[in-house]
Amino acid sequence: MNNDATPPGELWFRRYAPSDDAAVRLVCFPHAGGSASYFQPVARALAPKVEVLAAQYPGRQDRYREPCVDDVRALAHLAALALREWDDRPFALFGHSLGAMVAYEVARHFAAAGDRGPVHLFVSGRRSPTRHREESAHLLSDEGLVAEVTALGGTNPKILADPEMRSLVLPALRSDYRAAETYRHGPGAPVRCPVTALTGDADPRTSLEEAAAWEAHAPAGAFELLVFAGDHFFLNDNADGVVAALRDRLSAFTTLG
């Protein structure tokens, strides 16, 4: 891919199930070490009424030659600018783990600009931005970081076990962990759309109380918490339920059954 010639909107977002007639778009942001391809199943499940735009962060897959971005707000700023090329119809935001923080800051970006922003914000597998935990996995050795990621799940262990593949994914993984672990909530425009938090009931990184605390960052009366069985990657084992929840909450913009 020629990054110099590729428009930011196409550089940042992948359309695995293009639908030019979709009434609404769902913009998805992956977890630390994740990539746009993680959302291929979601894109196919929601098409054609909802078109999924899956974010591809710099430094991985077809963007592996680009420098990684190790700051949540910087990621959100770049993503929001690219998203303006897709503003011809309503859009919602979904993010898992690190992606939840990026999606949240993207929503704040649009609110601060006074522009039409997302119609819904879905934050998955992440505690409220004002529920801070001191974490420093990004400072671990390569072996320590691999052990941390393996224990949490969500990354194919065969990739981390292969020295060549591991050397390709570790820079982006460490950068993403640095972004997530050094993020601190700061002043800014409040989110203006409904917020739905999704969490696993056995997630070691997010307690139910920490997930419920997202309510403080939603408009009054426009928050809900959905709890699924599972750990940090509960959505892998509850794909049908998660997709159904997304479909239901976007149904006001579609004729989905």
Q: Give residue-wise pLDDT tens across range 14-38.
A: 999 999 999 999 999 999 989 999 9
Q: Is residue 222 part of a domain?
A: yes
- Asked, for residue 151, whether it belongs to a domain, the answer is no
Helices 72-83 and 98-113, interaxial angle, to 10°?
A: 60
From the list 31, 96, 138, 232, the catalytic residue is 232
CB-based contact 195:222 (threshold 8 Å): yes
Report if residue 178 sits inside a domain: no
Do β-strands 195-200 and 223-228 pair in parallel, antiparallel, or remain unpaired?
parallel
Number of helices (H) and strands (E), helices first, in the chain? 10, 7
pTM over 0.85: yes
Tell me the percentage of the chain whose pLDDT exceeds 70: 96
Domain that holds residue 240: 8-135+185-253
Q: Does any domain span residue 148?
A: no
Active site residue 97: yes
Tens of pLDDT, residue by residue over 50-67, are 999 999 999 998 999 999
Q: Give a yes or no: residue 130 inside a domain.
A: yes
Q: What is the CATH number of the domain that holds 221?
A: 3.40.50.1820
Q: Is 77 a catalytic residue?
A: no
DSSP notation for 30-72? --TT--GGGGHHHHHHHTTTEEEEEE--TTSGGGTTSPP---H
Count of domains in the chain?
1
Selected catalytic residue, list 31, 96, 97, 120? 97
**Does residue 15 fall inside a structural domain?**
yes
* 153 belongs to a structural domain: no
